[in-house]
């Protein structure tokens, strides 16, 4: 019997709602209607986030791409973002033929260093794309100030931030468009791939809805969310606050027994998609403890160093983050005591 602590396990979440998931699956199958009926999920997720509109899509990557297209991003444009993210953030920019312009991250939050934002603005800057990494919240105040001063729209990458709030306002509602991923391992995870955008701007919403299903006057896409995934998400949305509460309890225990990992503003409700710590010997720890606990690195190579997106830009804090970040298991039912024991038994060097 494998006693290793898995990095992620959905059993406790799905055991709470398995009967409901089975019931909606049967209902959708029997309906004979499998696409273009996601409106109830869209209304419920919009209400959860406090947004006026939600457009359901087939992935978080599609959400980023659709958002950029809705803003009219095209070849020759520049989009300011970070390299400390999953590569989909930058891939979506490249899909539009635009150029990503990278900002470094803050050493304490691991989110965009907004103090350098103004210096990156050029006449070609057509969007700012901050990332709410790991479920933390990117400092939006300065971003909004700079964006408004230059009349530049903001797309928030909330792929890891469903349930994240600042002073009670949900991530994704500060800028023009918020993009979400419902990959199975997310706090609100589909049983397959899914995503969405939220917005308070009906114009952007209408464009997104047309583009997702071959409705645009120009090039459009097959980015629809399936009815089955929408119904699964409707079920799991009812349990999202419980999932975040359970993750928060684990995070507080990790903080008590391990060095505090990264800073978040006291006004931030962190959703703890990922719980990272920074160590000097990350790869050795992962290998040495592999029989006891499954640990991961998110992400060992920053996007600007990946072959498809490689540039010579200097991002020293991002580079350090990529070398040292270590992700701990965090989910309802995780055997956190075993994780802490394994880490404490290993001689670690925290940053």
pTM over 0.85: yes
pLDDT (tens digit per residue) in 205-241:
999 999 999 986 778 999 999 999 999 999 999 999 9
CB of 337 closer than 8 Å to CB of 15: no
Task: Look up tokens 């809705």; give the residue.
Answer: 70
Average pLDDT (184-202) is 98
Task: Look up tokens 């990529």; give the residue.
Answer: 322
Domain spanning 11-103+110-237 has what CATH number?
3.40.640.10
99-103 and 53-57 beta bridge pairing: unpaired
Please give the CATH topology (third level) of the domain spanning 240-345: 3.90.1150
Token digits of residue 332 = 């309802």
Sequence ranges of the domains in the chain? 11-103+110-237, 240-345
pLDDT (tens digit per residue) in 241-256:
999 999 999 999 999 8
pLDDT at 277: 92
268-269 and 99-103 beta bridge pairing: unpaired
Average pLDDT (258-265) is 74
């Amino acid at each position: 019997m494998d006693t290793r602590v898995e990095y992620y396990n959905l059993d406790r979440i799905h055991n709470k709602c398995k009967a409901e998931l089975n019931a909606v699956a049967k209902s959708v199958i029997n309906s004979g209607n499998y696409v273009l009926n996601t409106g109830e999920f869209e209304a419920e997720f919009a209400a959860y986030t406090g947004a006026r509109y939600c457009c359901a899509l087939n992935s978080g990557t599609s959400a980023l791409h659709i958002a950029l297209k809705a803003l009219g991003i095209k070849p020759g444009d520049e989009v300011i973002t970070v390299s400390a993210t999953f590569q989909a953030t930058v891939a979506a920019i490249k899909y539009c033929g635009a150029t990503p312009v990278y900002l470094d991250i803050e050493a304490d939050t691991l989110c965009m260093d907004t103090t350098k934002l103004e210096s990156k603005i050029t006449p070609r800057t057509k969007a700012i794309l901050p990332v709410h990494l790991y479920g933390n919240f990117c400092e939006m105040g300065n971003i909004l100030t700079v964006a408004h001063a230059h009349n530049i729209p903001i797309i928030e990458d909330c792929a890891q931030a469903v349930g994240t709030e600042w002073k009670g306002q949900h991530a994704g509602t500060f800028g023009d468009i918020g993009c979400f991923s419902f990959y199975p391992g997310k706090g609100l995870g589909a049983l397959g791939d899914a995503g969405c955008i939220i917005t308070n701007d009906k114009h952007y919403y209408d464009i997104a809805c047309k583009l997702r299903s071959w409705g645009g006057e120009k090039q459009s896409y097959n980015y629809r969310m399936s009815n089955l995934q929408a119904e699964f998400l409707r079920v799991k949305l009812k349990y999202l606050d419980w999932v975040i509460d359970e993750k928060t309890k684990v995070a507080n225990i990790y903080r008590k027994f391990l060095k505090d990992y990264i800073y978040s503003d006291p006004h931030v409700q962190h959703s703890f998609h990922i719980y990272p710590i920074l160590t000097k010997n990350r790869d050795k720890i992962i290998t040495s403890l592999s029989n006891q606990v499954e640990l991961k690195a998110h992400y060992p190579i920053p996007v600007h160093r990946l072959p498809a997106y490689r540039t010579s830009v200097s991002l020293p804090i991002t580079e350090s983050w990529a070398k040292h970040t270590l992700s701990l298991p965090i989910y309802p039912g995780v055997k956190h005591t075993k994780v802490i024991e394994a880490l404490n038994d290993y001689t670690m060097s925290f940053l």
